Amino acid sequence: MFKEGGCETEFNAFMDCGTKGETGEGSFQDCIPLFESMRLCMQRNPAAFGEVLKDVDELARTNTEYPPPPAQPAAQ
């Protein structure tokens, strides 16, 4: 699907990052920009990724597994 849809490179980079995170060779936090890059690529081709994109967009919107760090209080 990703090869035909034109997002094979982005998908492979994201998956490789996830594998490194699982084996301890990297951090899952490093995968967030790669996920976003893959998602943006998928958005450029809704004919190929329409159904999958709904799930991916929902995951991006509600990501709670690896939330960003809490906002720092403003300096006074």
Tens digits of per-residue pLDDT, 4-32?
A: 778 899 999 999 999 998 898 988 888 98
pTM for this structure?
Answer: 0.66
CA-nearest of 39, 42, 45 to 61 is 39
pLDDT value of residue 74: 56
Q: Are 14 and 40 in contact (CB under 8 A)?
A: no
CA pair distance 10, 33, nearest whole angstrom:
10
Sorting pLDDT into bands at 50, 70 and 90, what band is 49?
Answer: confident
Q: What angle do CA 69, 65, 75 make, to 5 degrees?
A: 10
For residue 35, name the pLDDT band (cuts at 50, 70, 90): confident
- Look at residue 12 in the predicted model and tell me its pLDDT: 93
| CA distance linking residue 36 with residue 61, whole number of Å | 11
Domain locations in the chain as residue ranges: 2-62
- Write down the pLDDT at residue 9: 93
